[in-house]
Structure 1
Amino acid sequence: MRTPHDFEPSCPRRASLLAWLGMSVVMAANVACAGENFIVTSANFSDGGKFGPRQIFNDAGCKGPNQSPSLTWRNAPAATRSFAITIFDRDAPGRGWWHWAVANIPANVQSLPENASASGALRKLGAIESRNDFNVEGYGGPCPPPGSPHHYVITVYALNVDTLPLSQGRPAALFDREISGSTLGSAQLTVTYGR
């Protein structure tokens, strides 16, 4: 039988909790520390890789189907009450470029299918989407000017609130501000695209 001292030192509160409450709370203590390895992955690309062809914008000289990527996340902090997602081009001139912001994804959701933005899947979950910097509501894929590839930061945020005080179609920068004030933890991928 394992003792409280057998548990990983990266989660010291778990060991003290077990010693105080007894071994019957092993599962609960494990859940409380799950957020230490909060990660996000995608079937469309890998961290440090390139956007898939289906995610590319369909305007401004780009000819892609503009489908939001599939995303899967796990090991969010135990106190998570909802999730939010943003995609931001950090290489765009000026303040950068918002491609997507989604909030109010329920805490029991751990993945989004490809094209969740346009297919209506997010609305079925009760989630809301911002207006991106293309001035379009929902997802707007990469479409940088010709030249060096741009880096796009995809972030899944674990939030300490069920819903943010936002409405569908508000600017992405406003979503970002509200998300920042309620974040428990985040997981990121950085993906490139150039033309």
Structure 2
Amino acid sequence: MKISVPLENGMLADKYGKHAPAAYQLEGHPTVSFPLTIADVPANTKSLALTFLDWDAIPVSGFCWIHWLACNFPAGTTLIPENASASGAVPCVQGSNSDWSPLAGSWTDPRIIHRYAGPYPPDKDHVYTLTVYALDTELDLEEGYFLNEFRRAVRGHVIEEVVLDLPSRA
């Protein structure tokens, strides 16, 4: 399986993160997700899923920051277009990002906490980890699920996974 995200000068485009124009934000949160191209999905795939995590957040916040969780994309998906997280352009079930946490502001608006939350590196450039999973099933998860629930649900169902590091500027 292969995945790609367009970069600008080796970085995730500003419009998908901290430096997004106001039209790409909701209450100060970058909410327009980046486009993702997927190719060579294994033939026996029943659904696709993704995680978008910031391991570089650990020294700053004390935990890995979750920016996007989504599952049950149709197996034949070859493009998740820009803003698919908010627009619903490709059917999927989205989980909770870290903005819901009391350690991150206790946001409650599902448009903020159950969708893509763009990179917002507070201290220096961070490298964000996008992982796409080809699964042999659809996951029995409901909107707003948590990363721990996702990890349990995919156990034994991952046919293939691919990782792409996406740097974003502070």
Q: Where do residues 167-182 of structure 1 align in structure 2 (5 Å cutoff)?
A: 167-182=142-157
- Whether 1:117 aligns to 2:80 is no
TM-score scaled by structure 2?
A: 0.78
**Structure 2: which 5+ residue stretches go unaligned?**
19-24, 101-112
Q: Where do residues 43-192 of structure 1 align in structure 2 (5 Å cutoff)?
A: 43=6, 45=7, 49-57=10-18, 58=25, 65-93=30-58, 94-122=62-90, 125=91, 127-135=92-100, 136-145=113-122, 147-161=123-137, 163-192=138-167
SS at match of 1:188: strand
Higher helix content, 1 or 2: 1
**Structure 1: which 5+ residue stretches go unaligned?**
1-37
| Equivalent residues of 2:54, 2:67 under 8 A apart | yes
- Distance, in Å, in 2 between the alignment partners of 1:180 and 1:70 is 27
Stretches (4+) displaced over 3 A: 57-60
| Equivalent residues of 1:157, 1:187 under 8 A apart | yes
Across the aligned residues of Structure 1 and Structure 2, the Cα RMSD in angstroms comes to 2.2
Pair member with larger Rg: 1
- Distance, in Å, in 1 between the alignment partners of 2:169 and 2:156 is 32
1:19 alignment counterpart:
none
1:40 alignment counterpart:
3
Residues 32-78 of structure 1, C-alpha deviations (whole Å, 9 max, x = no match):
xxxxxx110123x27x9311112115479xx6742111001111222
| Equivalent residues of 1:100, 1:172 under 8 A apart | no
Aligned residues: 149
The one-letter code matched in structure 2 to 1:55 is: Y
